[in-house]
Structure 1
Amino acid sequence: MNHPDSHPVLLKPYTHLAPEDGMCLMEYVSVLAGTEFSDHPACTDALLGALARAVNDAMSDQGRCELLALASALAESGPERPGEDRITYHCWDAVAAASPPGSAAQRRARRRRDTALAPHAAARRAEGVLRWVRVHGPARRAVETAVRTLAALPPGEADRSLYRLLACCIEEARGHTAKHVRPAVSA
């Protein structure tokens, strides 16, 4: 993994044409990974990247600086599918936690959270749902709803909650990748 030798990085919201114009979190990940400058680097799963871009754009300037601590983990998380059901689960769980207790929004989020890990979700994965549907369908809606809900919290709490959500999902992705790496056979 390449580490930029330039000035300290100041993450900015949205996409940029070149590093000189600024970088969002995922563009910085592409630089760290030594890939083409992009906010969709191939080294990170598409759904996890969508969450990282949404969190980056929703955070305050001060909170966004904290995201630099997660960049290396994102670059190393791998392009494999990290279990979108687990990411979806964490997103709906975050919505339920941020919603008023007993509210319809909280009940709806808990139902969706519980459905994300239901047995039919595994069957849906086994059928090989197209990547586009996964990234732009129900899992993407969970990401967008979670980020929108957490961003509406009071500023400091919003940044902390968004950071925790992204960090948790990165750990899920890294754990998934580690489970699929075959250990070396010793002689």
Structure 2
Amino acid sequence: MNNLDLAVPVLSRGKHRNPRKGACFMEFASYLAGEPWSDHPACTHPLLAGVARDVNDCTTDAGRARLAPLIPSVIGLTPDDPHVVARVAARCIQHALPVVSQERQYILAVALLVGERQLAILDGRPLDDLEPESQAALDAVPAATKWARSFTSRAHRGTPDFARRTAPRAVSCAVEGISQACVPDPDDRLYNLLVAAIDECKLWMPAPTPAPAPAREEVLADQ
């Protein structure tokens, strides 16, 4: 074992006091970002960080090493657009809804409809207007969808706690549900869910500010 082996943490479940005890996905991200050791670093959007922690903990020991190359991609992903929470939650639910247990389907169908309603309000669209991926996921679980539509029709127009409570709980339910589902490839599905959440956050990052053009005098001086 060389010094590099000692310095680089091995991904494992849960929180760790320091790198010598191991590291979860987001603790390693804090390490690479130069932040204090934490599984809640400032370098990543809070909901995406929650997705990463849940996927890290629910992936098997054999499959967890595959997550490590994704760690650098979450550093600096801190979009502040109000769409981000609902869109990231939707991506996670869309992956989970067709395969999780029936009990979780009811929970996730409600969360997906509530999140889609939040997006419709933000975009000025009809409240029952769904993105195609969400509609397809709901179509795969008709009984849960029917119940969820009835339930949400009695709810208030908005859900103030969606970002703080509903979305994080839905993400955890989705990830845990996939890990416990009767499918042959839960690790692959969790990996793909995390990739989808990362890609969604990237879409909402502000465009980089272009560098100012050099002054005319500088251009002439270089010629």
Same topology, TM > 0.5:
yes
What's the offset of the Cα at 1:112? Answer: 3.6
What's the offset of the Cα at 1:107? Answer: 6.5
Q: Hey, what does 2:193 align to over in structure 1? A: 165
Q: CA RMSD in A?
A: 2.8
Matches for 1:53-92 after TM superposition, within 5 Å: 53-78=53-78, 80=80, 83-92=84-93
Q: Hey, what does 2:171 align to over in structure 1? A: 143
CA 117–17 in structure 1, closer or farther in 2 if over 3 Å, else same: same
Letter in 2 for 1:59: T
CA 167–29 in structure 1, closer or farther in 2 if over 3 Å, else same: same
* Structure showing greater Rg: 2
Say whether residues 1:181 and 2:214 are aligned partners: no
Q: Is the 8 A contact 2:28 2:71 kept in 1?
A: yes
Q: Hey, what does 2:127 align to over in structure 1? A: none
Structure 1 CA distance for aligned equivalents of residues 37 and 44 of structure 2: 13
Structure 2 CA distance for aligned equivalents of residues 107 and 95 of structure 1: 12
**Percent identical residues:** 28
Which range is displaced more, 82-91 or 12-21? 82-91
Q: Hey, what does 2:112 align to over in structure 1? A: 113
Q: Hey, what does 1:46 align to over in structure 2? A: 46
Q: Hey, what does 2:148 align to over in structure 1? A: none
Q: Hey, what does 2:181 align to over in structure 1? A: 153
Q: Report the TM-score, using the length of structure 2 for normalisation.
A: 0.67
Q: Hey, what does 2:152 align to over in structure 1? A: none
Structure 1 CA distance for aligned equivalents of residues 122 and 166 of structure 2: 11
Q: Hey, what does 1:19 align to over in structure 2? A: 19
Structure 2 CA distance for aligned equivalents of residues 138 and 73 of structure 1: 25
Q: Is the 8 A contact 2:54 2:172 kept in 1?
A: yes
Unaligned runs of 5+ in 1: none
Letter in 2 for 1:38: S
Q: Hey, what does 1:93 align to over in structure 2? A: 94
Q: Is the 8 A contact 1:85 1:121 kept in 2?
A: no
Q: Report the TM-score, using the length of structure 1 for normalisation.
A: 0.78
Q: Is the 8 A contact 1:115 1:121 kept in 2?
A: no
**How many equivalent pairs are there?**
172
Letter in 1 for 2:174: A
